[in-house]
Amino acid sequence: MDIRRLKSFIVIVDSGSITRAADILHLAQPALSQQLAALEEHFGQKLLIRSQQGVSMTDAGHAVYRHAQIILRQMEQAQADAAAAGNSLAGRVSVGLVPFSSAATLSVDLLAETRKRHPGILLHLTESVGQTYSQMIMNGRLEMALIHGIGPIKGVRFEPILSEEFYLVAHRNFAIEADSKPVPLGALDGMPMLLPPAYNFVRRAIDTAFTRSRINLKVVAEVEIVRTLARAVGNGLGATIMPKAIADRIVSESSEPLVCRVVSPRIEETLSLCTSDQNSLSEPAFAVRDILVELTERLKL
């Protein structure tokens, strides 16, 4: 098996097109098609379905893609281990940090601590709303991720680390008084809200709380970018409800007078560290995991 064929297969899948993949790999399209054909002949299965929209994986293609990610990562780790033999840890470690959570506030600290303790580790950080981290762990694209929820999901191990309580953040113009007492959800009936899309875990928790309390949740915009959300709340375009770490960030970055209060009934979500339950972590990944757990524990203080 030529390892280059596996690399090419991954690029074809990730780019969604043989033409785009050929450009990325600086190969002629016929040569790339031959690599794909050789790979399909090797496995005795059709791996991709071509259409005018691009390519999509067959069931066999999904299996090969997952194993290809693992094989290539192991090859990279073998090269890094050989180069760093007798020295410090080295290698590439991929980590997903779910947006709209305390995890999203840890990225710079994780990068800094990893560089400080293990300068030979190449850290790959992902913070994306549109990708399912559990699926990325299962197919080998991520080694670990901090995500909301406690599972179970087949193929993924969940380790609950932190419970995040949600806070209302609103401009003073919305007539919500600054108070240490929880603000009842009833006081938010019909208030214009800026929230993540409906498929987001944070949004689901909020939707559930309002539905159970039989209160009208008026969502005027769905925002996937924390910085945009902070500016919109600061400009009084709507209020939001976020985990405390994000609520504090919105308040600290705003030059406007904002109110930040916990809500009642309590809304919360569990933040879990997720890894594959089928593939063990490399030594560099274990080192990064320890740093990530340490940083997350600090959020409890």
23-53 per-position pLDDT tens digit: 898 888 888 888 888 888 888 989 999 888 8
| Residue 223 pLDDT grade (very low, low, confident, very high; cuts 50, 70, 90) | very high
The mean per-residue pLDDT over the stretch 77-97 comes to: 77
* pLDDT over threshold 70, residue 131: no
* pLDDT over threshold 90, residue 208: yes
Q: Give dist(CA 194, CA 173) in Å, integer.
A: 15
* pLDDT over threshold 70, residue 84: no
Task: Tell me what pLDDT residue 149 has.
Answer: 85
* pLDDT over threshold 80, residue 81: no
* pLDDT over threshold 80, residue 82: no
Take residue 299 and report the two structure tokens written for it.
């959020």
* pLDDT over threshold 90, residue 70: no
Check residues 6 and 78 and name the one with the higher pLDDT.
6
Task: Tell me what pLDDT residue 220 has.
Answer: 95
The mean per-residue pLDDT over the stretch 50-58 comes to: 87
* pLDDT over threshold 70, residue 86: no
Task: Tell me what pLDDT residue 300 has.
Answer: 74
The mean per-residue pLDDT over the stretch 75-95 comes to: 77
Q: CA torsion, points 219, 224, 227, 230, in degrees to nearest 10?
A: 10
Write down all domains in the chain, each with its CATH number in brackets: 3-61 (1.10.10.10), 65-157+275-299 (3.40.190.10), 162-269 (3.40.190.10)
The mean per-residue pLDDT over the stretch 89-109 comes to: 88
Rounded to 10°, the helix 226-234/244-253 angle is: 60
SS3 9: helix
Is the peptide bond preceding residue 265 cis, with omega within 30 degrees of 0? yes
Q: Give dist(CA 278, CA 150) in Å, integer.
A: 18
pTM over 0.75: no
* pLDDT over threshold 60, residue 130: no
| Residue 113 pLDDT grade (very low, low, confident, very high; cuts 50, 70, 90) | very high
| Residue 237 pLDDT grade (very low, low, confident, very high; cuts 50, 70, 90) | very high
SS3 4: helix
Cβ-proximal residues to 67 (8 Å cutoff; 6+ apart), any chain = 140
Check residues 247 and 152 and name the one with the higher pLDDT.
247
Average pLDDT, the chain: 88
Task: Tell me what pLDDT residue 245 has.
Answer: 87
Check residues 90 and 87 and name the one with the higher pLDDT.
90
* pLDDT over threshold 70, residue 247: yes
The mean per-residue pLDDT over the stretch 127-154 comes to: 81
Task: Tell me what pLDDT residue 211 has.
Answer: 94
pLDDT digits (tens, 9 = 90+) for 252-295: 888 888 999 999 999 988 989 999 888 888 889 999 999 999 99
